Structure formats: C-alpha cells, structure tokens
Amino acid sequence: MDKTEISLFKEKAMQWAASFEVCCCLDSNHYNDPYSQYDCLIAVNAQHQLKEKATSAFTALKSFYETHQDWMFGLLSYELKNEIENLSSTHTDQLDFPDLFFFVPENLIAIQGDSFTILKGDPAIIDQDPSD
C-alpha cells in the first residue's frame, strides 16, 4: 500500500471502529519515534471490560490484568488521586464516566508504515464494509 491507500484504510477502519460501543485509536500522527513499534493501533469491541469508581480501582485493575494478560486499553481519571492521597473533590460530576476504565479488545489492528496487521480478531474484518 502507498501512503494514500494506508491513510484511506485508517480512515475506513476508524469509521468501522466507531460503530462499536467501545473502541480506542492511538495514532502517532506521523511522529517519528525510533522506539515506536506501531504508527497506529485501533482497538475495537470489548471482549472483557473493567469499570471502577475511585475506592479500590487499582486493586481491581491489577486483578483484571492478572486474569486476562492480554492487550488492554483504557483510561485513568483525575479523581483516582483520591485513592492515592488523602484528597477529595467537590466538583459535580456531570459526565458520570468511570474513574478507571480498561478493556481487552476483541479486534486489534496495527498500522506501521505502509502496511497493516490484524493483531487480534478475525482477519476477515478487513473485508467488511464500514457502512454495513
């Protein structure tokens, strides 16, 4: 694939990924890093997931990792500071996001240079039309 084709592939893959409730795209945006293994990772659909509020979130994450030991993507919120230090916040949480959210993807696509690889999932996902 040339750069135009890989760019189009990435765009279609992200459109397809957005059709799932859970997805994550990590893109280097052409930043050249000698230690980077991938230019872009697209993780799609939660095979397993962990949602926690700040109380014992890190303990739950450790257990989740020990159980699955697989690719994981997620987020840590600012509110987890309360679990590490004796702090608190009085701001109203209007979004109700979990303080910690991680998932093991069902499908994982890696893009490096002018090629892509299916790291997890059915290779036939490449043949799916994102508009279906």
pLDDT of amino acid 129 = 58
Identify the CA nearest to 66 among candidates 48, 89, 87, 93. Answer: 48
pLDDT of amino acid 130 = 52
Rounded Cα gap, residues 88 and 74, in angstroms: 23
The pair of three-digit structure tokens given for residue 59, joined into one six-digit string: 């303990």
pLDDT of amino acid 65 = 97
The pair of three-digit structure tokens given for residue 60, joined into one six-digit string: 């739950």
Rounded Cα gap, residues 108 and 24, in angstroms: 10
Q: What is the length of the chain?
A: 132
CA distance from start to end of the chain: 24
Rounded Cα gap, residues 65 and 72, in angstroms: 8
pLDDT of amino acid 88 = 72
* pLDDT tens, per residue, the chain with 132 residues: 888 899 999 999 999 999 999 999 999 998 888 888 999 999 999 999 999 988 899 999 999 999 999 999 999 998 898 888 877 777 777 777 899 999 999 999 999 999 999 999 988 887 765 555
Question: Looking at beta carbons, which pairs linking 119-123 to residues 24 or more positions away fall under 8 Å?
Answer: 119/71, 120/70, 120/71, 121/44
- Are residues 30 and 76 in contact, defined by beta-carbon separation less than 8 angstroms? no
- Are residues 126 and 15 in contact, defined by beta-carbon separation less than 8 angstroms? no
